[in-house]
């Protein structure tokens, strides 16, 4: 099976016309960059001399940032605390031209912050500040009301579940029911705690560890992969499952068809942070622009390849996608062969 670059280019040229709603756990990613020259005399740990800092959108907010970078309009829905971090996050959203109108301030929880210390281009440690309890019923009601108010004016929904309490069973069931009722494409970036609740969705994008854990079978070889992919597809009644496999690329399982294996586009891996966010954002943008599931998988794979080549949470643009895809096509056709096999 092969794809032509001309068809991919047509899809890329149509991206930028969709409104995509992202529901999930909104985070602030903090990076402290520095260098290590010595070991602490107090304990056998490195002393990092901080030279610079960065604040970036994380979690569902990073998915929204990727959607915006591709040219589509993201509608970000979730909760933040009433704290300094929420103010900083709102400022970052404004800089990226992402509306905060659908975000709810919840005084019962703090805004999630992931602080990463990076020394000599390597992450030394990560410190998390977060609350993980489920949404208060009143906050949950507000979120669902905002969802129902806007669902008729969107092209697709992405559920970005990081297990911080926004994607409760009630939210998941209601959002899924409404999307299926109205024919809205719904894609899920899963967390293992809710995995068996992601039923009847259009797409779910687990990595191979998450997929294997959810099905109860570790993926070691192709036979395991096929059993897990097909098994989850049937068990969850999903339209498609895209299993990301790191250096092995991705495998797409879709209802009524053989699986498609897509080789990795990454040439050098520096940081996998945010790669899953890029995959689901690019995939849904491509589908919204008329791509088939295989075409969307190829484009999303290119997005992941770009993201892991960057240090820190990063977004992928249309220009970056074109460059990544250009490395993988020769004479107009994809160089790496696809496999559709059992």
Catalytic residue positions, numbered: 277
90 contacts 82 by C-beta, under 8 angstroms: no
Single out the residue of 167, 171, 247, 169 nearest to residue 208, CA to CA: 247
Name, in order, each residue with C-beta under 8 angstroms of 118's C-beta and a sequence gap of 6 or more: 31, 32, 33, 34, 124, 311, 312
**DSSP annotation string for 128-167:** EE---SPPPHHHHHHHHHHHHHHGGG-SEEEEE--SSSSS
**d(C-alpha 89, C-alpha 92), whole Å:** 5
Single out the residue of 34, 58, 60, 59 nearest to residue 48, CA to CA: 34
274 contacts 307 by C-beta, under 8 angstroms: yes
Q: How many CA atoms are closer than 13 Å to the CA of 340, on its beta-carbon side?
A: 7
* Token pair of 245 as six digits: 């496999």
Q: 40-54 burial, b if ≥16 CB within 10 A, otherwise e? A: eeeeeebebeeeeee
Strands 203-204 and 185-189, bridge-based pairing: parallel
**DSSP annotation string for 196-258:** GG--S-SEE--BHHHHHHHHT----SHHHHHHHHHHHHHHHT-SEEEEE-GGG-EEEEETTS-
* Token pair of 315 as six digits: 């977004």
């Amino acid at each position: 099976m092969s794809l032509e670059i001309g068809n991919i280019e047509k899809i890329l040229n149509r991206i930028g016309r969709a409104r995509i709603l992202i529901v999930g756990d909104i985070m602030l990613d903090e990076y402290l960059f520095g260098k290590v020259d010595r070991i602490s005399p107090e304990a056998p740990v490195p002393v990092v001399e901080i030279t610079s800092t960065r604040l970036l959108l994380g979690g569902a907010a990073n998915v929204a940032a990727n959607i915006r970078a591709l040219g589509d309009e993201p509608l970000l829905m979730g909760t933040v605390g009433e704290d300094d971090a929420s103010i900083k996050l709102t400022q970052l959203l404004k800089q990226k031209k992402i509306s905060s109108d659908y975000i709810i301030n919840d005084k019962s929880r703090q805004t999630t912050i992931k602080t990463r210390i990076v020394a000599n281009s390597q992450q030394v440690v990560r410190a998390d500040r977060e609350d993980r309890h489920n949404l208060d019923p009143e906050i949950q009601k507000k979120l669902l009301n905002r969802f129902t108010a806007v669902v008729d004016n969107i092209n697709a929904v992405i559920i970005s579940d990081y297990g911080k309490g926004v994607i409760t069973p009630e939210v998941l069931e209601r959002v899924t029911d409404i999307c299926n009722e109205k024919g809205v494409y719904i894609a899920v970036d899963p967390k293992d705690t809710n995995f068996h609740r992601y039923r009847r969705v259009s797409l779910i994008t687990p990595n191979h560890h998450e997929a294997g854990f959810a099905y109860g079978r570790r993926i070691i070889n192709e036979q395991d992969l096929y059993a897990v992919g097909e098994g989850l597809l049937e068990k969850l009644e999903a339209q498609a499952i895209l299993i990301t496999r790191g250096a092995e690329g991705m495998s797409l399982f879709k209802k009524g068809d053989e699986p498609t294996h897509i080789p990795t586009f990454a040439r050098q891996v520096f940081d996998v942070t945010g790669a899953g966010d890029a995959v689901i954002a690019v995939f849904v943008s491509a589908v919204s622009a008329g791509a088939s599931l295989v075409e969307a998988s190829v484009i999303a794979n290119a997005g992941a390849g770009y993201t892991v080549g960057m240090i820190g949470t990063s977004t992928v643009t249309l220009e970056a996608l074109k460059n990544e895809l250009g490395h993988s096509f020769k004479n107009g056709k994809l160089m790496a062969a696809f496999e559709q096999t059992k």
